[in-house]
């Protein structure tokens, strides 16, 4: 009986299987040129109710296959970014069915018909960052990356100390395409000054990064994303820009010129991309400084005037490839190299008026200085990305090498004169610096969706850095160059950082939460070979993060966030060398600097496109610049030290206004309150506080015949940073006009920065025995012309953008 029942069950199962026989539907997707379109989304729909039966995507050859389809009538849709959605008429399935090649049409014609008024605004506020759409900005054209940053809301460029600040805080992690450039503060600004805005697609301002990011950067992250073409086939953009500075009492050759080429070729399983640029830059600075000293009854007042001219040529090249081995696995390689060959000429005039017992004695120091500093940086990256499924389970791996070299040759000739202008002495010095830095790093990240509303992220990272700084100082005495043993030094620094992190996120209907923890173990060793002085550190740090998003209604949203971050001293700050600047000023590193830790809290409220943000940060052991003055010798020594506590309160509001169809306005205002406190800074208690403001406003005008105009205005009020104070309000008005031709492939742009020449810096340092005032004028007013031409298909899905494993360490190569 059991055997009979079993036989009947088998027969019934076979009959049911025959009755419900399933079939296969397959086909391929191509564009107008019969080129395969990978990763297109194909949906099979029941007819006539159009309920979705199955959804698949095409492979690298444009092929798709849908299994287990019942007999019946169906329709189909095909969609992908950059193409019009394709509808396939009703068809019947009674057996395995192969659809003839499906041709989808590019949406480039539709995109060409869109008015320029529909373009992305220069400033775009997103839930976790602020994005500057540089390639859409007229006034950014012809400028440099540093000049674009100066126009960004909440960003300040301190031209005196070469610091980039975000929300009134230094310690910003600068990233380029997800990796930090490997230069000092001075060299970072030099590199950004040599990077044309034409190379930049967007700039991301991230004030509270999650635990997935490196913990470095107490003020947050500025990520500069270079242009990457967005189409299959071969395409690119070529551009030329030229212009000149318009500044009184300055050299005549303050011109700049640059060529930039972006290329991308995407076909089948390969995507190959590259970028090349060459630029000639020239800048001029005039700095006026006055200070006083008092020693043994001699009261001296010193006035110094510096004229610095910096010019040079920079080259940048980038090449990479992505290989789509399967629909789920991609391999990538990338090599990025840049070099800047800069030449700085500096003339200074120092007047010294020494008064003793009512008698005044005048003397002068005239110095000519020349610096040649070729800088080279090479970065290589290998990466893998594997998608386990279509639900977001992903594993990535990056291995990186970065090498940095800087061989600086400096010469100084100082002539000492008496009150009558007669020479009394002459010094002839030279410094040779050879800095070599190597960085090796690897990281892996795993994303695990637990459900549609729950996700876990985790990852590991390890980095190893070795720097070798060889500094040789010599003085010309008795017709012979003699080594200055008191200044020459060899400094070797090694650092290993190992990190692990985890993020957990959960979504509800009106709430989103993400919590994370990052642990970083640091072992560093700095050794002055010449002095036989060694500083070894070994410590573990934890960096929690928390984000809570509340969707009150369709138009109202509140986001709460917290993160703990660190700024480790960069390699130049730790270097104990004494760097000669002029006979009365030297710069010295501090191998005993400690890292600074910051707790950041932020609340962001948005109503439609209007947003309001409140921020509080608390920094302990803030790394700051201190000037020590020897009244007897009148020499200023600039060093770095840790300041006990820095608290920063800020509030910012962003309000876009559409005044008319042809006129849109963006406005951003920020208010900061900074408070500094140290119980024993340079032998005394120090307290300082200041309220400061940043304003930004930009107007875009769309005119007939493909003309458009942009005007933007920014303003920074006086502020305080450690013991230094900015004493003037900095502001500038910039303007630009654009004409597009040849179906918007050709763009002509003419811009003028700082029209009224109001952007200059002035500050003071009054603490202990130092009483110093500075005024610094630089090349801020420029006229620029830019011509760019785009060729090939510009409207299809782009290749991947990689973030490499050297994110937090390369930017610490210097100040």
Residue 71: give its domain's CATH number.
2.60.40.10
Tens of pLDDT, residue by residue over 346-374, are 999 999 999 999 999 999 999 999 999 88
Judged against a pLDDT cut of 70, whether residue 26 lies above it is answered with: yes
88/146 same-domain check: no
**465, HSE (Cβ side, Cα atoms, 13 Å):** 28
Judged against a pLDDT cut of 80, whether residue 736 lies above it is answered with: yes
Is residue 3 situated within a structural domain? no
Is residue 17 situated within a structural domain? no
Judged against a pLDDT cut of 60, whether residue 812 lies above it is answered with: no
Angle at 504 between CA 502 and CA 509, to 5 degrees: 165
Mean pLDDT along residues 169-181:
70
**Domain limit, last residue, from 49, 75, 106:** 106
Q: Taking a C-beta distance cutoff of 8 angstroms, is the pair 366, 349 a contact?
A: yes
90/148 same-domain check: no
pLDDT at 96: 84
CATH (domain of 227): 2.40.170.20
Tens of pLDDT, residue by residue over 654-693, are 898 989 989 989 899 999 999 999 999 998 999 999 999 9
690/796 same-domain check: yes
Higher-pLDDT residue of 146, 297? 297
What CA–CA distance (Å, rounded) separates 132 from 145? 12
How far is residue 62 CA from its own chain's centroid?
Answer: 36
346/480 same-domain check: yes
Q: What is the dihedral of CA 794, 800, 805, 809, to 10 degrees?
A: 20
Is residue 647 situated within a structural domain? yes
Averaged pLDDT score across all residues of the chain: 84
What CA–CA distance (Å, rounded) separates 562 from 617? 10
Instruction: Grade residue 115 by pLDDT with cuts at 50, 70 and 90.
Output: very low
Q: Taking a C-beta distance cutoff of 8 angstroms, is the pair 673, 648 a contact?
A: yes
Specify the DSSP element, H or E, that contains 16: helix 2-19
pLDDT at 715: 95
**Domain limit, last residue, from 72, 106, 140:** 106
96/155 same-domain check: no
What CA–CA distance (Å, rounded) separates 101 from 318? 37
264/205 same-domain check: yes
71/179 same-domain check: no
Judged against a pLDDT cut of 60, whether residue 774 lies above it is answered with: yes
pLDDT at 201: 79
Higher-pLDDT residue of 527, 84? 527
Q: 613 vs 153, 244, 610, CA distance in Å? A: 13, 38, 10
DSSP secondary structure code for residue 137 in this structure: -
100/129 same-domain check: no
pLDDT at 33: 73
pLDDT at 806: 54
Is residue 13 situated within a structural domain? no
Mean pLDDT along residues 510-524:
94
Is residue 7 situated within a structural domain? no
In the chain, how many domains are there?
A: 2
Mean pLDDT along residues 66-74:
85
**Domain limit, last residue, from 106, 139, 174:** 106
Residue ranges with strand state E in 392-453? 394-418, 423-449
Most confident of 158-167, 205-214, 777-786: 777-786
How far is residue 122 CA from its own chain's centroid?
Answer: 16
Tens of pLDDT, residue by residue over 395-437, are 999 999 989 888 899 999 999 999 999 999 999 999 999 989 9
Instruction: Grade residue 127 by pLDDT with cuts at 50, 70 and 90.
Output: low
* The total number of residues written for the chain in this structure: 815
* Domain that includes residue 42, residue range: 23-106
634/710 same-domain check: yes
pLDDT at 117: 37
| Token duo for residue 649 | 């309160």
pLDDT at 193: 65
Is residue 16 situated within a structural domain? no
Is residue 1 situated within a structural domain? no
69/204 same-domain check: no
| Token duo for residue 218 | 């107490």
Judged against a pLDDT cut of 90, whether residue 182 lies above it is answered with: no
Is residue 9 situated within a structural domain? no
Instruction: Grade residue 119 by pLDDT with cuts at 50, 70 and 90.
Output: low
502/368 same-domain check: yes
242/316 same-domain check: yes
Q: 115 vs 119, 243, 261, 476, 708, CA distance in Å? A: 8, 29, 26, 67, 11
pLDDT at 474: 93
């Amino acid at each position: 009986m059991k055997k009979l029942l079993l036989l009947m069950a088998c027969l019934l199962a076979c009959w049911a299987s025959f009755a419900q026989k399933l079939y296969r539907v397959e086909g391929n997707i191509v564009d107008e040129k019969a080129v395969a379109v990978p990763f297109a989304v194909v949906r099979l729909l029941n007819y006539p109710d159009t309920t979705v039966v199955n959804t698949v995507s095409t492979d690298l050859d444009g092929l798709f296959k849908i299994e287990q389809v019942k007999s019946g009538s169906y329709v189909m849709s095909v969609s992908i970014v950059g193409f019009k959605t394709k509808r396939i008429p009703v068809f019947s399935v009674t057996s395995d069915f192969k659809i003839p090649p499906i041709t989808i049409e590019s949406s480039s014609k539709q995109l060409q018909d869109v008015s320029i008024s529909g373009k992305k605004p220069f400033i775009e506020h997103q839930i976790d960052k602020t994005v500057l759409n540089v390639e859409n900005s007229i006034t950014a054209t012809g400028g440099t990356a540093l000049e674009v940053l100066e126009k960004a809301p909440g960003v300040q460029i301190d031209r005196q100390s070469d610091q980039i600040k975000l929300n009134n805080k230094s310690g910003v992690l600068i990233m380029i395409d997800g990796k930090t450039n490997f230069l000092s503060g001075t060299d970072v600004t030099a590199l950004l000054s040599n990077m044309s805005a034409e190379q930049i697609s967007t700039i991301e301002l991230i004030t509270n990064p999650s635990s997935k990011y490196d913990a470095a950067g107490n003020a947050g992250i500025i990520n500069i994303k270079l242009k990457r073409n967005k189409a299959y086939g071969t395409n690119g953009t070529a551009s030329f820009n030229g212009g000149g500075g318009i500044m009184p009492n300055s050299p005549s050759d303050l011109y700049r010129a640059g060529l930039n080429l972006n290329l991308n070729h995407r076909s089948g399983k390969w995507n190959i991309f590259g970028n090349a640029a060459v630029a000639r830059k020239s800048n001029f600075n005039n700095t006026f400084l006055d200070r006083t000293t008092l020693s043994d009854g001699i009261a001296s007042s010193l006035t110094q005037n510096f004229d610095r001219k910096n010019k040079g040529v920079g080259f940048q090249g980038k090449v990479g490839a992505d290989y789509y081995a399967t629909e789920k696995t991609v391999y990538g390689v990338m090599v990025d190299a840049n070099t800047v060959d800069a030449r700085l000429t500096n003339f200074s005039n120092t007047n010294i008026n020494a008064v003793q017992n009512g008698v005044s004695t005048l003397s002068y120091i005239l110095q000519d200085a020349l610096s040649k500093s070729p800088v080279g940086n090479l970065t290589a990256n290998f990466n893998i990305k594997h998608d386990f499924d279509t639900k977001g389970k992903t594993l990535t791996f990056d291995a990186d090498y970065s090498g940095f070299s800087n061989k600086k040759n400096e010469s100084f000739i100082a002539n000492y004169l008496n009150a009558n202008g007669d020479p009394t002495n002459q010094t002839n010095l030279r410094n040779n610096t050879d800095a070599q830095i190597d960085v090796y790093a690897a990281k892996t990240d795993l994303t695990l969706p637990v459900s549609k509303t729950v996700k876990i992220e985790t990852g590991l990272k390890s980095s190893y850095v070795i720097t070798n700084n060889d500094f040789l100082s010599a003085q010309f005495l008795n017709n012979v160059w003699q080594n200055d043993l008191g200044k020459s030094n060899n400094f070797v620094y090694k650092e290993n950082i190992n990190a692990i992190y985890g993020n957990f996120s959960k979504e509800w209907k009106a709430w989103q939460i993400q919590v994370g923890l990052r642990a970083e173990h640091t072992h560093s060793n700095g050794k002055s070979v010449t002095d036989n002085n060694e500083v070894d550190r070994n410590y573990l740090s934890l960096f929690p993060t928390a984000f809570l998003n509340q969707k009150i209604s369709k138009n109202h949203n509140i986001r709460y966030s917290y993160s703990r971050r660190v700024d480790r001293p960069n390699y130049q700050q730790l270097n104990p060398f004494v760097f000669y600047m002029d006979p009365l000023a030297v710069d010295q590193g501090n191998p005993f600097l400690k890292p600074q830790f910051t707790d950041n809290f932020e609340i962001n409220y948005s109503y439609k496109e209007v947003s309001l943000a409140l921020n509080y940060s608390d920094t302990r052991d803030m790394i700051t610049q201190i000037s020590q003055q020897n009244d007897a010798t009148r020499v200023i020594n600039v060093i770095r030290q840790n300041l006990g506590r820095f608290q920063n309160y800020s509030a910012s509001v962003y309000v876009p206004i559409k005044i008319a169809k042809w006129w849109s306005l963006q406005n951003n205002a920020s208010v900061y309150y900074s408070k500094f406190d140290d119980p024993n800074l340079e032998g005394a208690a120090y307290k300082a506080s200041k309220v400061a403001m940043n304003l930004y406003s930009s107007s875009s005008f769309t005119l007939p015949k493909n003309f458009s105009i942009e005007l933007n205005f920014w303003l920074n009020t006086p502020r305080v940073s450690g013991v230094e104070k900015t004493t003037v309000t900095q502001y500038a008005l910039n303007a630009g006009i654009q004409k597009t031709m040849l179906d918007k492939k050709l763009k002509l742009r003419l811009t003028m920065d700082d029209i009224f020449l109001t952007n200059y810096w002035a500050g003071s340092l009054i603490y202990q025995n130092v009483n110093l005032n500075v005024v610094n004028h630089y090349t801020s007013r420029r006229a620029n012309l830019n011509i760019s031409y785009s060729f090939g298909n510009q409207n299809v899905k782009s290749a991947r953008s990689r973030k490499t494993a050297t994110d937090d360490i390369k930017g610490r190569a210097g100040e």
